[in-house]
Structure 1
Amino acid sequence: MRKIWVKADPWNKDIITTALEGGADGVLIPKGYSEKVKELGKIQTISEDGDLKTGKDVIFYTIKSGEDEDEIVKLSLNKKVILECTDWTVIPLENLIAKGADVIAQVQNYQQASTVCGILEKGVKHILIDSSDMAELKKTLSLLNSETDKVSLEHAEIDEVIPAGMGDRVCVDTCTSMIPGQGMLVGNSSSALFLVHAETVENPYVSPRPFRVNAGAVHAYTRVPGGKTKYLSELCAGDQIYIADYKGNITAGIIGRIKIEKRPLLIIKALAAGKKITTILQNAETIRLTSPDGKPMSVVNLKKGDKVLVAIEESGRHFGYKIEETILEQ
């Protein structure tokens, strides 16, 4: 997910408050003001005496020509580099992104933020907003925090649904009210994750809980920010998870609560991209996968040949990180 810093140097309490309310990850402030920031809210400070030290952990680099690009690439391996351009242009950023540099782009307004977010169809991963215009700052923060990433979803064909006996299943209650077509990516293998639908559906016996995904058994994987996966059993309140929709849009959500309870389970077997894939979910009418058109499909009504959405990944995982290794999971 993209990281957002806001510049409040010289000191400006209104900017700090707006940054906190707008979901910024950090504030760039003058020396001696970190404690004042912490009194207003919990957020990372960047200054000579902040959580990250300017001049040590964070450096400014004024790029003057293409010859500076290789030096910036090297510096960005060990430090956070805030890029300054003699004239505002996307060309240096395009070149640096293409070379794999992780730099912080400064923007002064909404339009510049929109531009840097679309560079080479990937955008920069880290942005510093430098604006004392409160309306512009709020607008830019809103843009950056409403952005979604993408995941490629494929159609899987249900092969078999079998009762698996009793086991520990995980309910993930988020701080987000999800809408029809949204849920979490969950599976027995990190290389094949099913889109498990949120509990947004009206039911004669149970009220909708649009903040909840009854996600699966404790051993299952789910996709989380930072290019990682986690076991459902590792999740806890305050963690971030990915919320995905049927079009492949993903946003970060915050976990409010995890419930692990013993429940009857089903093993769901399917075929996708020439592979046999599986997941284990609770055996209940209110547990649903997602059809290619975004409709929730109850697991108790699934039959051979039904199509559901999955995310397929070729690489393996080691401690949650993607690796290029041959791994067989059955």
Structure 2
Amino acid sequence: MSPKASWDDKKEFITTALESGIDYVLDTVDSENIRKVGNFKVISNEEDADIYLVGIDGEGDGTLELKDNLNESADLAKANEAKNSGKTVCAYIVITDKLHEQLAVTLGRVVDYVILVATDWTIIPLENIIADLQKENVNIIAAVKNADDAKVAMETLEVGTDGVIFEPNDFAQIKDISNLIDELSTESYALKDLTITNVEPVG
């Protein structure tokens, strides 16, 4: 969630998420307050996070330069360190080019969750990453903007992603995506997890 948003503004979205059956929230500021609202699993780069996050302010989101030799990746080193200390780990990667796609696959072989963000999944094929990680013990989470994007992500390669993450613009969007997940789950799809990130006030 955006640190620009006040907790009062976030709380309304968080409460709606709880009422809609959403279980996970990504936030790097208000983890303690979020836990007071409901039984969420908080994804954060804080040490006491339920799921420890790498990639924010790193190579994953483009803050740090990603070198061609992925074995030298700072995000990979952090992920390995966190896993070795017994943490559940999530990697966050903005897929802007082939190298970041390869980083997602590399991290996906180490972490428990991998969040994939792309401006256009028709340009960066989601199915490539799903295929490469299909036999790995990792949950693939796709960033989406709306219910239509969520449906595409969860039906890609028939296997689909294990969940979606989205930045809500309004309360209706939260309910629409949550309802879609419920509908897909009744069509013999496995129930998928939802995550909210970057909540901002809309006026």
TM-score computed with the length of structure 1 as normaliser: 0.40
Task: Kindly indicate whether structure 1 or structure 2 has the higher relative contact order, using CA contacts under 8 Å at least 6 residues apart.
Answer: 2
State the 1:29 CA deviation: 1.5
Q: Distance in 1 between matches of 2:186 and 2:107?
A: 27
Residue 29 of structure 1, aligned match among 5, 13, 27: 27
Q: 1:29 and 1:47, CA in 2 relative to 1: closer, same or farther beyond 3 A?
A: same
**Is 1:52 aligned to residue 51 of structure 2?**
yes
Q: Distance in 2 between matches of 1:63 and 1:16?
A: 27
> Is the CA contact (8 Å cut-off) linking 1:94 and 1:119 kept in structure 2?
yes
State the 1:59 CA deviation: 2.6
Aligned to 1:70: 102
Q: 1:132 and 1:250, CA in 2 relative to 1: closer, same or farther beyond 3 A?
A: closer
State the 1:138 CA deviation: 0.8
Residue 132 of structure 1, aligned match among 162, 166, 169: 169
Aligned to 2:133: 100
Residue 43 of structure 1, aligned match among 40, 44, 47: 40
Aligned to 1:89: 121
Gaps of 5+ in 2: 55-78, 80-88, 192-203
Q: 1:69 and 1:17, CA in 2 relative to 1: closer, same or farther beyond 3 A?
A: same
Q: Secondary structure at the match of 2:157?
A: helix
State the 1:149 CA deviation: 6.9
Q: Secondary structure at the match of 2:120?
A: coil
Q: 1:251 and 1:74, CA in 2 relative to 1: closer, same or farther beyond 3 A?
A: closer
Q: How does 1:89-238 map to 2 (within 5 A)?
A: 89-90=121-122, 91-100=124-133, 102-148=139-185
| Amino acid across the alignment from 2:16 | T
> Is the CA contact (8 Å cut-off) linking 2:23 and 2:39 kept in structure 1?
no
Q: 1:8 and 1:127, CA in 2 relative to 1: closer, same or farther beyond 3 A?
A: farther
> Is the CA contact (8 Å cut-off) linking 1:46 and 1:54 kept in structure 2?
yes
| Amino acid across the alignment from 1:40 | V
The RMSD of aligned alpha carbons is 2.4
> Is the CA contact (8 Å cut-off) linking 1:29 and 1:46 kept in structure 2?
yes
Aligned length in residues: 146
Q: Distance in 2 between matches of 1:38 and 1:68?
A: 32
State the 1:83 CA deviation: 1.3
Q: Secondary structure at the match of 1:96?
A: helix
Instruction: Summarize deviations over 1:183-212 as a string: whole Å, max 9, x none.
Output: xxxxxxxxxxxxxxxxxxxxxxxxxxxxxx
Q: Distance in 2 between matches of 1:46 and 1:21?
A: 19
| Amino acid across the alignment from 2:169 | S
State the 1:8 CA deviation: 6.8
TM-score computed with the length of structure 2 as normaliser: 0.63
| Amino acid across the alignment from 2:172 | A
Instruction: Summarize deviations over 1:80-135 as a string: whole Å, max 9, x none.
Output: 221122x2214421111122254321011111111112211221112112112111
Q: Distance in 2 between matches of 1:68 and 1:34?
A: 28
| Amino acid across the alignment from 2:15 | T
State the 1:251 CA deviation: 6.4
The answer to which structure has the higher strand fraction is: 1
